[in-house]
């Protein structure tokens, strides 16, 4: 907690909210642009590696028999997973009228949109002939050929595109009142820009009424996606006969994992952000605490699913499955599994202690670990299972090459760049809902959020 904040002691007012938002969106300094530039650089590097891969063929990667899926699909699942918490927080918690969501939801929702946008790239990066990716979508053509709807990849295509559309709609919907607010104070090209996005919002009663109704509907529409999208993604693997993937537990297990990693990433993003943008009194420890509770819960769910997975295999006594899981534990890449258990099951247990839950440093570190762990989980699941599949003579372990590593790193650059740009040019915390929050604080006879600095001081 920054010392500056500790000394301040005043009641949170509507004006505070507005002021903070203005401050956040004030024209950026050099540091900011250096950061964005760095992200952009990563994107360029990754892009050039991809270009090379397309020209020379996938041979430039470390791929080979039998691990024909590895890092790219891992990244894909990882980013889709990230997306989910956003929708959870913004839509599901909205329907449940959860108070603490108001401060973090915009951030989470933004994360969703950009995460899906990133995830959507990877199936294309992964293709042998990416220039034909559009064959996945049904369109009338002279060949009379359509995609095969039995294939999970076709389901994926629809799941992801639906998810992206919905998230974008939901985000831009929620933005409207805040943007209108900016429009009224902004000047120059920003004014034009906001005017377009604000869709002529005046804040009339009618508009507010239809706004909240539309918002409710979209939230209702987005909610099932939280479950459906990642279930579909999990079926890419669950429908496979490959031992180690051929399991019915995958859908719930993936959804839990998605929320787990998603909330963790929200923490990872929002903790430094609230510091840098000085919004500690809007996004307080209380919010972080609630988030980390979700992380803890989902972590437990994950651990439980791991156990179930192994139990089912042991119970079924199928020799091939057993061997695959034996390899996963004690095989040549068993250390990956170890790392994943450490990051996903053990480290999050620290969150049981309130002191850690309320310590941003700890939270930040733990959230990083969780992200690493979840990435590892997908990698072990995909590359690991494939490398020791049905025909022993074809076993081979996957060792990545620079291309896929760089493209993976670039995907983070791409995500962060978009996210940073957004946070500068569009309100990253929802003024509207925070004001509601303030209203709620008033009604509930409090001055500020629980655990907020001035509460401590008093």
Partner 1 sequence: MMNRILIPVSLFMFAIGLYMVGVSQRPWAPRNDVVQPIPFSHRVHAGINKIPCQYCHEYARRSANSGVPPVERCVGCHGSALLGGIEPVTRAWTDTKQPPFEIRWNRVYALPDFVRFVHKPHIWAGVQCQECHGAVETMDRVVPVHEINMGFCVDCHTKRGATQECFVCHH
Partner 2 sequence: MSDGLSRRSFLKLAATASAAAAIPGCEPAARKLIPYVVPDEDVIPGVPTFYATTCAECSAGCGIVARVMEGRVIKLEGNPVDPISQGAICARGQAGLQGLYNPDRLGKPNTRRADGALTVIHWDEATKLINGKLAAAAQAGKDRVAFIGVSQGPTLDKITKAWAQAFNSARVGFWEAFSDEPARAAAEACFGRRDLPIYKLDQAETIISFGADFVETWNSPVEYARQFAQFRAPKTRNGSLSIGNAAYVGPRLNSTAAKCDEWVASNPGTEGAVAMSVLNVVVSQGWASNGDAGGLKELVADYDPEKISVQTGVPADQIKRIAGWFGQAKDGAVALAGTTDPQAHLAAMILNAVTGNVGKTMIFLDETPAQPTSRPEEIKAIIEAMRDGQVDILVIAGGNPAYSMPPAYAFREASKRVGYVIWMGEVPDESAELANLLIPTHHALETWRDTNPRTGVYGLGQPVMQPVYPSRALHDILIASAHLGAGAAAQAISYENAADAINTAWQELQGKAGGGATPKQFWDDARRHGGVFQEAKPASVSLNAAALKPTIRPPAAPNGLTLWAFPHIFLYDGRGANKSWLQEIPDPVTQIVWDTWAEMHPETAAKLGLKKDYEQTRLFAGIDVIEIATPGGPIQLTATISPLIKPGVIAVPFGQGHTSYGRYAKGIGVNPFSFLPEGTHSVSVTARKTDKKYKLVTPLGNSDMLGRTIIEAMTVSDLANGVEPDFGEEKIDRPYEMYEPFVYAGHKWGMTIDVNSCTGCSACIAACYAENNVQVVGKENVDLGRIMSWIRVERYIRPADKPNDGPLIQIAPMLCQQCDHAPCEPVCPVFASHHTEEGINAQIYNRCIGTRFCENNCPYKVRRFNWYAPEFVEPLNYQLNPDVTVRGAGVMEKCTFCIQRITTAEINARTEDRKLLDGEIIPACAQACPSRAITFGDINDPNSAMIKRRTDNKGRIYTMLPEFNALPAITYLRDLYQEKGKA
Query: Whole-angstrom Cα distance, residue 218 to residue 225?
Result: 11
Compute the 3-state secondary structure of the chain and give helix, strand, coil in percent, each to the nearest 5: 75, 0, 25
DSSP state at residue 60: G
Which one, 319 or 445, has the nearer CB to partner 2? 319
The entry of partner 2, partner 1, none that residue 389 binds, CB within 5 to 8 Å by partner kind: partner 2
Q: Does 345 bind partner 2 (CB under 8 A)?
A: no
195 or 360: CB nearest partner 1: 195
Which residue from 26, 44, 217, 332 is in contact with partner 2, where contact means CB under 8 A?
332
Residues 20-49 contacting partner 2, CB under 8 A: 47
Which residue's CB is nearer to partner 2, number 154 or number 359? 154
The partner in contact with residue 142, picked from partner 2, partner 1, none with C-beta cut-offs of 5 to 8 angstroms by kind, is: partner 1
Closer Cβ to partner 1, 141 or 353, answer by number: 141
- For 256-317, give the DSSP string: HHHHHHHHHHHHHHHHHHHHHTT-TTTS-HHHHHHHHHHHHHHHHHHHHHHHHHHHHHHHHT
Give me the least distance between CB of 131 and partner 1, in Å please: 8
- Distance in angstroms (rounded) separating the CA atoms of residues 245 and 113: 28
Which residue's CB is nearer to partner 1, number 132 or number 330? 132
CB-wise, 316 or 349, nearer to partner 2?
Answer: 316
Residues numbered 107 to 146 that lie near partner 1 (CB under 8 A) are: 131, 141-144
- Residues 192-221 interacting with partner 1 (rule: CB under 8 A): 192, 196
Closest-CA residue to 407 (of 16, 20, 38, 61): 61
455 touching partner 2, by CB under 8 A: no
Minimum distance, C-beta of residue 192 to partner 1, in the bound complex (Å)? 6
Q: Which does 69 bind (CB under 5 to 8 A by kind): partner 1, partner 2, none?
A: partner 2
The Cα 289–Cα 447 span in angstroms is 19
Q: Of partner 1, partner 2, none, which one does residue 136 interact with (CB within 5 to 8 Å by kind)? A: partner 2
Q: Which does 386 bind (CB under 5 to 8 A by kind): partner 2, partner 1, none?
A: partner 2
Helix count and strand count (H, E) for the chain: 19, 0
Place of tokens 């695959």: 324
Our finding on whether 127 is near partner 2 (CB under 8 A) is: yes
Q: Which of 217, 399, 402, 457 binds partner 2 (CB under 8 A)?
A: 399
CB 229 within 8 A of CB 156: no
Distance from C-alpha of 312 to C-alpha of 187, rounded to nearest angstrom: 62
In the region spanning residues 143 to 182, those forming contacts with partner 1, defined by CB under 8 A, are 143-144
- What does DSSP assign to residue 75? H
The length of the chain, given as a count of residues: 458
Site string for partner 2, 146-185 (x = CB under 8 A): -xx-xxxxx--x----------------------------
Among partner 2, partner 1, none, partner that 192 touches (CB below 5 to 8 angstroms by kind): partner 1
Rounded-to-10 torsion of CA 306, 312, 318, 323: 20
286 within 8 A of 266, measured Cβ to Cβ = no
Compute CA distances 427 → 274, 330, 340, 394, whole Å: 13, 49, 36, 53
Binding to partner 2 by CB under 8 A, coded x per residue (else -) over 63-102, reads: xxxxxxx---------------------------------
443 binds partner 1 (CB under 8 A): no
Q: Is 145 in the site for partner 2 (CB under 8 A)?
A: yes
CB of 106 to partner 2, least distance (A): 32
CA dihedral 406→410→413→414, nearest 10 degrees, is 180
- The answer to whether the CB of 451 falls within 8 A of the CB of 4 is no
Q: Phi-psi bin for 188: left (phi > 0), alpha (psi -120 to 50), beta?
A: left
Report the interface residues with partner 1, using CB under 8 A.
131, 141-144, 192, 196
Report the interface residues with partner 2, using CB under 8 A.
47, 50-51, 54-59, 62-69, 123, 126-133, 135-136, 145, 147-148, 150-154, 157, 236, 239-242, 318-320, 323, 332, 386, 389-397, 399
């Amino acid at each position: 907690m920054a010392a500056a904040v500790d000394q301040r002691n005043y009641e949170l007012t509507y004006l505070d909210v507005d002021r903070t938002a203005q401050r956040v969106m004030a024209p950026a300094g050099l540091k900011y642009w250096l950061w964005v530039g760095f992200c952009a650089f990563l994107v360029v590097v990754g892009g050039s590696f991809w270009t090379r891969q397309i020209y020379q063929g996938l041979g430039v990667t470390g791929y080979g028999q039998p691990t024909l899926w590895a890092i790219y699909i891992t990244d894909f699942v990882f980013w889709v997973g990230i997306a989910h918490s956003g929708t959870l927080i913004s839509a599901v918690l909205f329907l449940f009228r959860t108070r603490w969501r108001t401060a973090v939801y915009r951030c989470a929702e933004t994360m969703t949109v950009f995460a899906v946008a990133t995830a959507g790239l990877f199936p294309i990066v992964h293709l042998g002939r990416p220039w034909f990716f559009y064959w996945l979508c049904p369109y009338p053509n002279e060949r009379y050929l359509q995609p095969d709807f039995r294939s999970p990849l076709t389901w994926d295509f629809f799941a992801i595109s639906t998810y992206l559309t919905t998230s974008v709609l939901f985000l831009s919907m929620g933005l409207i009142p805040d943007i209108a607010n900016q429009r009224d104070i902004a000047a120059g090209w920003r004014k034009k820009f906001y005017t377009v996005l604000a869709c002529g919002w005046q804040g009339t009663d009618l508009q507010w009424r239809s706004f909240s109704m539309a918002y409710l509907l979209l939230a209702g529409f987005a909610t099932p996606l939280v479950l459906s999208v990642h279930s579909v993604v999990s079926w890419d693997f669950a429908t496979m006969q490959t031992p180690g993937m051929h399991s019915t537990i995958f859908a719930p297990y993936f959804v839990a994992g998605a929320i787990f990693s998603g909330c963790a990433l929200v923490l990872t993003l929002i903790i430094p952000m609230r510091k840098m943008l000085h919004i500690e009194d809007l996004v307080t420890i209380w919010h972080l605490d609630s988030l980390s509770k979700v992380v803890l819960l989902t972590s437990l769910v994950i651990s439980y699913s791991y156990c179930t997975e192994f139990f089912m295999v042991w119970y079924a006594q199928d020799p091939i499955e057993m061997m695959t899981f034996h390899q996963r534990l004690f095989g040549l890449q068993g250390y990956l599994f170890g790392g994943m258990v450490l990051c996903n099951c053990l480290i999050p247990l620290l969150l049981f202690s309130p002191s850690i839950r309320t310590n941003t440093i700890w939270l930040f570190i733990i959230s990083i670990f969780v992200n690493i762990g979840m990435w590892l989980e997908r990698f072990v699941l995909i590359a690991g299972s494939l490398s020791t599949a049905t025909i022993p003579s074809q076993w081979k372990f996957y060792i990545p090459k620079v291309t896929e590593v760089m493209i993976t790193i670039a995907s983070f650059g791409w995500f962060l760049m978009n996210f940073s740009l957004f946070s500068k040019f569009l309100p990253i915390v929802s003024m509207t809902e925070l004001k509601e929050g303030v209203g709620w604080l008033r009604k509930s006879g409090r001055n500020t959020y629980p655990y907020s600095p001035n509460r401590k001081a008093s």
